[in-house]
Amino acid sequence: MTRTGSGSISHEVRQHTRTRTGLLAIAAVGALALGGCSGGRASPSHESVSSKGVVDGTIIATGDNSEWLSYGRTYDEQRYSPLDAINRTNVGELGLAWSSDLDTARGQESTPLVIDGVIYITTAWSKVRAYDAKSGKELWAYDPEVPGATGVKGCCDVVNRGLAAWGDKLFLGTFDGRLVALDRKTGKVAWTQVTTDPAKPYTITGAPRVVKGLVIIGNGGAEMGVRGYVTAYHADTGKQAWRFYTVPDAPGKNSEKYLKDAEKTWHGQYWAEGGGGTAWDSMAYDPELDLLYIGVGNGSPWNQGIRSEGKGDNLYLSSIVAVRPETGEYVWHFQTTPGETWDFTATQSIILADLTIGGKTRKVLMQAPKNGFFYVIDRETGKFISGKNFVPVNWATGLDPVTGRPIENPEARYYKTGKMWVGSPGAGGAHSWHPMAYSPKDKLVFIPAQHAALPYFPDKDWKPAKKGFNTGVDMSAGAMPADPAVRKAAAEATWGELIAWDPVAQKARWSVKFPSVNNGGVLATGGGLVFQGNMTQNLAAYASDSGKKLWSYPVQTGIVAPPITYEIDGTQYVAVVAGWGGIWALAPGILSQDGGPIRNVSRLLVFKLGGKATLSKPMTLDQLPLDPPAFAGTKEQVAKGAYRFARFCSTCHGDAAVGGGELPDLRRSAFIQQRDAFQQVVHDGALTDLGMVSFADVMKPEEIEDVRQYVIHRANEDKALEAAGGKAPAAPSPTPADKATQAAAQIVKDQEKTGPRR
């Protein structure tokens, strides 16, 4: 329940179940009885931004070898750089050139941009920093001052994935729904547009894209209850050009043909909770075809039985949609998961390339969305070419070879059976937002894959709420028990993998296994290398043809962001923003801690051959004691508190009240000691300025007390487990930046002085 970092704070009920895997593998063990976008086009090094002074569509399309001008480097989003000064023969000599500590101790997911010798990054809480890319000297910083209280609207941490560039400006989407244009040289604001309704639980975490002078931005919030859309603004003035809705409004309110067509695929009062379909991350653009491709997210609520009476394909959820970038005109769509009900978004990386298939060159679009299948689609027409699961899946037995429609397992529709469904993959997805990369030299796609199941229980008594997840799935029913055997089995059933995938043959060429999921995005280079950071607190380089690890560097924190590379004065650099976070560091509970709790040490790290810089040794953080008050509640309180904790608290403070290490572990928190202190924070909003808002609008005082008793009960369970020789889930002590935890402790002390409320 806290936001940490310089001015950053936020205990927002990190409403997400997008990786509610704390429960996931549990159930898996049966223990839940309770255009210029052609592949491989070389970039003309003479066509640099510095020679023109501005960023435009031509240079983004072709790319500049020495720079990184757009989120995926070029419009095709391949995340491949032809630079080869760092290669398989010398990568072992890679060392730290310089680093910069960041002031936000939350998840870092930014892709840096490098333009005219300056590196630009975003951090958690939508802050921006600019550095001399060679020396590391900070040039300017911008803080949009996102209110900590808005963190409660987010599903998966207060992250930001990066900037867009056009002309002499940078463009930033802020967590609280603004689109901000900044002067690239000074960081001063040129214009601002509020692009989401502040009264609704919208957020922006994704990077904008700029096509033909239009800045294109989506949004998030489908877990909470919103209607998704994408908006384009003129880069010079901020004036809105068009808006494309990804799901239909109520019948009779849809004027566009594509929305009228979609309306026929929905049933019931789907519009009441917005329908979802937020386009919160992926986009790509083909200049030759003049098509912008948008990845669309999950339904709201997830449970299609509630959302659409269990009927219809519910367009354009979980789809890739092609539109004209100047007008937003619909051209075609391909739906990966018709009638989506598992949080299987299609917002994952979209990569464009030209592949030789059946002896012919095909213009294709490739995606490995959450549902576990790798798709190759004709990007001119949207027609299915091929698809194969890249991890084991059980919700479908395969794809129709002509249409690409999944052949579903009927038992997967849990709202129809009324029974628990242990889905593989789960809501975290076989591949989440972490960008994949494509090497035109190796003709391989490198996927940061995930093996993690999830138990889906239909929530029979579900009603929408103003806060928390509005999924229609009962997450408390699958909470991790205090059973060492179950926990061990769950951990063994959950792991991560870097897969080198042949998109033509539709099979893996090699893979690297990790002890858990949520490993970083990927970079491929002309030096025959694949770079990826991981949850084992290393940045590593692998041979792109074999997967052999050739180099790694200990970074003192988990990495979820993707690396980039650039060149200055003949020297090639590799850069990555490090900092453990995102949904996996918050929600899955004990499964967040495979190998021990991972701390957040947020930094920008830049490497070069022969680099000699070193990282300062991180401050020692002692584990907080597990010393809860004696449980004095009732079984009924625990049952009721478990449900409310899962819905309103677990996505910040972890499944079964086991903290993931980024925010306070409430089992070890001072303010569960006293009823009044807990009420003061959760009901009265005593820590609102620090991001822990009041939940009085969704829970009565007695319901909040049920939550406290549940946490106390869970803490005592784990304390007994620890005393019996079992391993109780650990949690590091809060960092000095954890102002909310310190404030909570002060509230407890004040209560001790003044006595209880009457």
CA distance 379 to 286: 9
Annotated active-site residue in 286, 343, 594, 738: 343
Amino acid, res. 264: K
Cα–Cα distance for residue pair 253/241, rounded to 1 Å: 21
Q: Which residues of 359-379 are buried (b: 16+ CB within 10 A; e: fewer)?
A: eeebbbbbbbbbbbbbbbbbb
Q: Which residues pair with 169 in a beta bridge?
A: 166, 183
CB of 523 closer than 8 Å to CB of 437: yes
Distance CA(351)–CA(72), nearest Å, equals 9
Nearest Cα residue to 270 out of 339, 320, 371, 370: 339
Name residue, tokens 């806060």. 467
Evaluate the omega torsion of the peptide bond into residue 301 and state whether it is cis, within 30 degrees of 0: yes
Write the DSSP string, 29-66: TT-----TT-TTPPP-TTS-HHHHSSB-HHHHHH--TT
Across-strand partners of 55?
167
Beta strands 169-173 and 299-300, pairing class: unpaired
321: Cβ–Cβ under 8 A, 6 or more apart, which residues? 244, 246, 293, 294, 296, 330, 332, 333
Report which of 208, 117, 217 is spatially closest to residue 165, judged by C-alpha positions.
208
For the chain, counts of helices (H) and of strands (E): 12, 39
User: How far is the C-alpha of 237 from the C-alpha of 524, rounded, in Å?
Assistant: 36
Whether the upstream peptide bond of residue 643 has omega within 30° of 0, thus cis, is no
Close Cβ partners of 601 (under 8 Å, ≥ 6 residues apart) = 555, 556, 557, 578, 579, 580, 618
Burial letters for 475-510: b for 16+ Cβ neighbours within 10 Å, e otherwise? bbbbbbbbeeebbebbbebbbbbbbbbebbebebbb
How is residue 168 annotated by DSSP?
A: T
What span, in angstroms and rounded, lies between the C-alpha atoms of 457 and 227? 24
- Check residue 203 and report its DSSP letter: B
CA angle 590–596–597, rounded 5-degree value: 75
Say whether 236 is catalytic: no
Apex CA 137: angle with CA 135 and CA 141, to 5°? 145
Tokens 């690297």 belong to residue: 512
Residues assigned a catalytic role? 343
